Amino acid sequence: MYHLRRCILALTLSSYFAVALTLSVLPAQRITPTSVTWNKCLDQTDGLDCGTLEVPIDWDDPYGHTIHLHMSRLRSVKTIPLGTLFFDSGNVDRPGSLQCTDGSTFYYRFSPRLRYNFNIVCLDRRGIGGSNPVNCDAALWNEIGSFFPTDQAGFDTLNSWSLKWADSCYERSGLGIGVTDATTAALDWEAVRIAEGESNGDSMMNMFAQGHATNIATRYAELFPEKVRAMVLDSPIDHSLNQSELLRTVSLANEDAILRFTKWCTRHPQCPWQKRGPLNLLEGLVAALNRRPKHEPLCLPEHRGDFPQAGNCRTKVSGHHIIENMVRRLDDPTDEAYQALAQDLAAALDGFPVNLSTPIAVGSDRHFANTATHCADWGTDVKTFEQHRALQELAHEAAPRTLGSASVMRAISMCMNWPYPARNPPRPVDDSRVRLVRHPTLILASAYNPSAPLSWAQSLHRQIPNSKLITTTGKGNPAHHWSQRAQDIVEEYVVKLNIENVELIP
Ligand X SMILES: *[C@@H]1O[C@H](CO)[C@@H](O)[C@H](O)[C@H]1NC(C)=O
Q: Does 347 bind ligand X (CB under 6 A)?
A: yes
Question: Closest CB to ligand X among 193 and 461?
Answer: 461
Question: Closest CB to ligand X among 125 and 248?
Answer: 248
Q: Does 352 bind ligand X (CB under 6 A)?
A: yes
| Binders of ligand X in range 228-287 (CB under 6 A) | 242, 244-245
Query: In the complex, what is the shortest distance from the CB of residue 348 to ligand X, in angstroms, rounded to a whole number?
Result: 8
Residue 141 and residue 168: Cα distance in Å, rounded?
Answer: 10
Q: Distances in Å between the alpha carbon of 261 and those of 257, 278, 332, 335, 405?
A: 6, 9, 11, 10, 17
Question: Closest CB to ligand X among 354 and 369?
Answer: 354
First to last CA, the chain: 60
Question: Closest CB to ligand X among 59 and 352?
Answer: 352
Query: In the complex, what is the shortest distance from the CB of residue 338 to ligand X, in angstroms, rounded to a whole number?
Result: 14
Cβ contact 250:408 at 8 Å: yes
DSSP string, 420-442: S--SS------HHHHTT-SSPEE
The residue ranges of DSSP E strands in 57-196, in sequence order, are 66-74, 83-88, 118-123
Query: In the complex, what is the shortest distance from the CB of residue 341 to ligand X, in angstroms, rounded to a whole number?
Result: 10
Question: Closest CB to ligand X among 34 and 242?
Answer: 242
Q: Does 398 bind ligand X (CB under 6 A)?
A: no
| Binders of ligand X in range 355-374 (CB under 6 A) | 355
Residue 394 and residue 403: Cα distance in Å, rounded?
Answer: 9
Residue 16 and residue 193: Cα distance in Å, rounded?
Answer: 25
Question: Closest CB to ligand X among 126 and 314?
Answer: 314
Cβ contact 378:425 at 8 Å: yes
Helices (H), 330-384: 335-349, 366-377
**Where does this chain touch ligand X (CB under 6 A) — which range of 13-21, 215-223, 269-277, 349-357?**
349-357
Q: How many CA atoms lie within 13 A of 179 on its CB side?
A: 28
Q: Does 332 bind ligand X (CB under 6 A)?
A: no
Three-class secondary structure assignment of 247-263:
HHHHHHHHHHHHHHHHH
**Where does this chain touch ligand X (CB under 6 A) — which range of 224-232, 348-356, 444-452, 478-486?**
348-356
Of 195, 232, 354, 414, the residue at the interface with ligand X (CB under 6 A) is: 354
Question: Closest CB to ligand X among 301 and 363?
Answer: 301
Nearest C-alpha neighbor of 165 from the set 358, 10, 372: 372
**Where does this chain touch ligand X (CB under 6 A) — which range of 86-94, 350-358, 440-448, 493-501?**
350-358
Q: Does 344 bind ligand X (CB under 6 A)?
A: yes
Q: Site for ligand X (CB under 6 A): how many residues?
A: 8
Q: Which long-range contacts (CB under 8 A, 24 or more apart) does 345-351 make?
A: 345/273, 345/281, 345/282, 345/285, 346/272, 346/273, 348/285, 348/317, 348/322, 349/273, 349/281, 349/285, 351/294
Q: Does 349 bind ligand X (CB under 6 A)?
A: no
Question: Closest CB to ligand X among 277 and 425?
Answer: 425
Q: Does 334 bind ligand X (CB under 6 A)?
A: no
Cβ contact 416:379 at 8 Å: no
Question: Closest CB to ligand X among 285 and 354?
Answer: 354
Q: How many CA atoms lie within 13 A of 81 on its CB side?
A: 26
Query: In the complex, what is the shortest distance from the CB of residue 297 to ligand X, in angstroms, rounded to a whole number?
Result: 10
**Where does this chain touch ligand X (CB under 6 A) — which range of 265-273, 346-354, 432-440, 470-478?**
346-354
Q: Does 463 bind ligand X (CB under 6 A)?
A: no
Q: Which residues pair with 38 in a beta bridge?
A: 51
> Residues interacting with ligand X, by CB under 6 A?
242, 244-245, 344, 347, 352, 354-355
